[in-house]
Structure 1
Amino acid sequence: MAEIKVPELAESITEGTIAQWLKQPGDRVEKGEYIVELETDKVNVEVISEEAGVIQELKAEEGDTVQVGQVIAVVSEGGEASAPANTEKTEAPKQEEKVAAQPQSTPETDKKDRPIASPAARKLAREKGIDLSAVSPVDPMGRVRVQDVNAHTTQPKQEVQASKSAPSAPVSQEDGKPVEIVRMSRRRQTIAKRLLEVKQNTAMLTTFNEIDMTAVMELRKRKKDKFQEEHDGTRLGFMSFFTKAVVAALKKYPAVNSEIQGNELIVKKYYDIGIAVSTDEGLVVPVVRDSDRKNFAEIEADIAGFAKKARENKLSLGDLQGGTFTITNGGTFGSLFSTPIINGTQVGILGMHTIQKRPVAVGDNIEIRPMMYVALSYDHRVIDGAEAVGFLVTVKKLLENPEDLLLEA
């Protein structure tokens, strides 16, 4: 017999949630084959079997919280996979015991009738209280994907209620009006906890400025086709300009690239810039390593790769760990103005916003210019107001004069 244990995940992660069993009792498993998907605070991790054999027992169910080192399955080394009839015989007593102990519960759906779905779709459906068997997939092979689950939630209320339902919408006891109670995912709980910790444990302030994006937009318009052609299809976006401007400002104001540890200030001489990326469960912040040493194309390629991995739920723990400063772009959602919250132990975060044409004074004339509000939230225990304003003014000047930014890069 071989035990499958929850592996070491990362220094700060001690537990996870069983998102999906990829194997069931009686299934044959090869050495190195994935058997379970764990949802952690940051990413989903697939756990492999260290031995070849047959799944003898699962010691945790989907949705259970498990600790690092905990035994979650047992593999019988060697042997053959059980036939369906044998599986039913071994499972029947357990099912009878379960029904006897909980006469009010509903028997679980037979695993053979379980809809085919991607791990991300299965997790999203579980969080929204949706029965996957009621979701109509677009895939001709019948595989349910995230977009199918999202499409299902937009159906008219009567249609959703007519379908087979999972545990859902309790009714308010106060006024009898319908409400829905949705359990927060582990990642959303962690995001909430950490944001609250930052607000409680830092002296956070936000300073604002606005950037005339005319020069960057004109430069990008002139160069984007050639850039994409020369760099294997990588698109020239605004994030590489902002990342390079931030690195230059961090070099000028090194305290913004630091963190507090006890009574000491750790000033970092490297520039690992976190770029906030939106997912179905909230923002994650993959890190562009050594941003000062990378050119525009390398930064854009890293960001595009992170966005793709985030959509496919394939970000690794290594992608998210570390980071000395963060950039978040609420403008992609149309945000005009916001006060971003500092990320983790960092002492500063830059918030970008939507580009909006506004009348501005240019010399003695009024012109319509594409303007962007930017916000720097910072820990006032480390950064004085003058430093914060100077940092933001440096970013502004470099972006309004992108030729200087290219020289800085």
Structure 2
Amino acid sequence: MQEIKIPELAESITEGTIAEWLVKEGDKVEKGDPVVELETDKVNVEVNAEFSGVLVEITAGEGEDVEVGDVIGKMDESAEAGSTPAEPEEKSKQEPEEEPKAEQPKEESPKKEEEKTDSGSKADVIASPAARKRARELNIDLSEVSPRDPLGRVRPEDVDAAAKGSAEKASDKSSGKKETKETEKTEFDKPVERIKMSRRRQTIAKNLVGVQQEAAMLTTFNEVDLTNVMKLRSERKEKFAEKHGVKLGFMSFFTKAVVGALKEFPLLNAEIQGNEIVMKKFYDIGIAVSTDDGLVVPVVRDADRLDFAGVEREIAELGKKARDKKLKMEDLQGGSFSITNGGIFGSMLSTPILNAPQVGILGMHNIQKRAMVMPDDTIEVRPMMYLALSYDHRIVDGKEAVQCLVRIKEMLEDPYDLLLEG
């Protein structure tokens, strides 16, 4: 019998949640086949079988939290497909041997016999590794936990429920009024639906709150006239697509403008480590992508070395991988600055939150035609977009942030030079 364990995933990943078992008990599995999909803080990864055999038991079900090294299943290398766990058979063989013992005269004192029964009941508890770990953390006796699993297996949520019940009893004794108030906050007279947050959503929430607590975040706003960008795209889009096999979108213009501005204002391309400022001499630009599971920010590497076609190609590929849940850890790590486009959802103005440990992020919004007063006092209808630059005031002064955003605006309003220099 071989155990299926959670392998080392990445340096920054030590735990995850079982999203889906890709095989079921009794299935034949070949070495290298994916057996389970694991949801981590950033990406979903597949755990592959390290040996061939039949999956005879799943010890950690879907939705359970597991850590590196935890046993999540068992495989029998010599079993035939369709085999079931051997545990019930072993128990049935042991039962006849245990019956005579029960009929023997009791020589021990009632107290000792009680202790023996208690210890035996603890050993007989069927629980997942995650549940046993959780019980140790909460100091809960597994034999006192009531499992909801019809097969009697104790899961982490059962342990949490038992701990909550103990805490409620203690709270009830100390303060009945306090418990009443808490109930009023959490219970509703009308129908509600409670949905467990995914691990990724929990991580997003934790990181966003962390940024607001740790960084001195401010946002500066400006607006950009995209007349020339739209004109240039209209002139070049067909030849561009024919030559490079990719569409000329807006993101390449914004990415190249950001890189140009970061070269002039390098503190927005830095980060804080302890009492040091790390000045990054590379331009790895994160492009926020919205997926069904939440926002992810894959990184366009060395954006300063790519031409417009290269940037568009990278963004398209990373976006597809994000929506197909095919992103790898290396696709998300190491960005130096981020761009997020709320305009695709109709946002007119918003304050983007920093993608820690980065100290700058540019927010794009929707394009609206507005009447603008031109230098000669005439009024023209122009396609305008509000831009928002959030920055960490701990190392970036307001003057520098404002000037950086103005520089982005200037380059977008004169995209011909940007395209030639890009």
TM-score by length of 1: 0.78
CA distance change for structure 1 residues 222 and 8 in 2, over 3 Å: closer, same or farther? same
- Using the TM superposition, name which of 196-205 and 178-187 deviates more: 178-187
Write the letter of the residue equivalent to 1:77.
E
Structure showing greater radius of gyration is: 2
Match in the other structure for 1:136: none
Identity of aligned residues (%): 62
Give the paired residue count: 341
Query: Distance between the aligned counterparts of 1:103 and 1:186, measured in 2?
Result: 26
Aligned pair partner of 1:332 in 326, 341, 344: 344
For residues 48-197 of structure 1, what are the structure 2 equivalents within 5 Å? 48-82=48-82, 105=148, 107=150, 176-197=189-210
**CA deviation profile, 1:336-377 (whole Å, cap 9, x unmatched):** 000000001000000000000011111111111000000000
Equivalent residue, structure 1, for 2:354? 342
Measured in 2, the distance between the counterparts of 1:58 and 1:66 equals 13
Flag the structure with higher helix content: 2
Amino acid at match of 1:350: L
Match of 1:130 in 2: none
Contact 1:328 1:349 in 2 (8 A): yes
CA distance in structure 1 between the partners assigned to 2:337 and 2:348 by the alignment: 22
Say if 2:300 is the partner of 1:288: yes
Equivalent residue, structure 2, for 1:19? 19
C-alpha deviations, 1:385-407, integer Å up to 9, x for none? 11101110110000000012123
Q: Distance in 1 between matches of 2:204 and 2:290?
A: 13
Structure 1 residue 78: deviation in Å?
Answer: 4.0
Q: Is the 8 A contact 1:172 1:178 kept in 2?
A: no
Residues 1:211 and 2:224 are matched in the alignment: yes
In structure 2, the residue corresponding to 1:383 is in which secondary structure?
coil
Cα distance in 1 between the residues matched to 2:277 and 2:359: 11
* Matching of residue 226 in structure 1 with residue 239 in structure 2: yes
- Using the TM superposition, name which of 70-79 and 223-232 deviates more: 70-79
Distance of 2:146 and 2:45 partners within structure 1? 35
Map of 1:6 onto structure 2: 6
- CA 1:215–1:60: 2 relative to 1, 3 Å: same
The residue that corresponds to 2:334 in the other structure is: 322
Structure 1 residues 372 and 92, CA gap change in structure 2 (3 angstroms): farther
Q: Per-residue displacement from partner, 1:291-341 (whole Å, max 9, x unpaired)?
A: 001111111111111121122111111111110000000000000000000
Which residue does the alignment assign to 2:247? 235
SS in 1 for 2:271: strand
Q: Name the counterpart of 2:41.
A: 41
Contact 2:56 2:85 in 1 (8 A): no
Summarize the alignment of residues 365-384 of structure 1 with structure 2, pairs less than 5 Å apart: 365-384=378-397
Contact 1:52 1:78 in 2 (8 A): no
Closer/same/farther in 2, CA of residues 255 and 82 from structure 1, 3 Å limit: same
Q: How far apart, CA to CA, are the structure 1 residues paired with 2:391 and 2:146?
A: 56
Question: What are the Cα deviations for residues 149-196 of structure 1, in whole angstroms up to 9, with x where unaligned?
Answer: xxxxxxxxxxxxxxxxxxxxxx99755211111111111110000000
SS at match of 1:37: strand
Normalised by the length of structure 2, the TM-score is: 0.76
Matched AA of 1:188: R
Letter in 2 for 1:74: K
* CA distances 1:250-299 after superposition (whole Å, capped 9, x unpaired): 11111110000011100000000000000112210000001001111111
Equivalent position of 1:405 in the other structure: 418
Look up the match of 2:177: none
Match of 1:31 in 2: 31
